[in-house]
Amino acid sequence: MVPINIAIMPKVQNNNLFEIGSGRNRILYRREGEGYCVYLCNQMKFYFLDKISGMLFLNHMNVLIRNEVEREINKTLGYTIEPSTFEEVKKQYLKELPEEFHLLFSH
């Protein structure tokens, strides 16, 4: 009889925990309802971001590509962002995030 090796696949489907970076400065995030929930490990603090703020934040952290964010803004807010104004819109949204995020951006 030929032995059959059954590979046990790690159970990772539908995983809702994502990380950015490593070590003490890691950021964890997950989808929560329509928006995002973010955990700054070095601050040990949780934050809730609405969908657009969350997507712009993730784009800023190089996790989401710009096209995806633009598409979502178009769908959610009902208007198209011109490529030339995207960075300006993002800057304004990021300004509104809690001050702990600003510390993150300054590093």
List of residues 6+ apart from 82 with CB closer than 8 A: none
Select from 1-9, 27-35, 59-67, 74-82 the region that touches another protein (CB under 8 A): 27-35
- Does residue 14 bind another protein (CB under 8 A)? yes
Q: Is 12 exposed, middle or buried (0-12, 13-18, 19+ CB in 10 A)?
A: exposed
- Residue 31's DSSP bridge partners are 36
List of residues 6+ apart from 16 with CB closer than 8 A: 30, 31
Q: Least Å distance between CB 14 and another protein? A: 6
- Does residue 32 bind another protein (CB under 8 A)? yes
Q: Which of residues 48-107 bind another protein (CB under 8 A)?
A: none
Binding residues for another protein (CB under 8 A): 11-19, 24, 26, 28, 30-33, 37, 39, 41-42, 44, 46
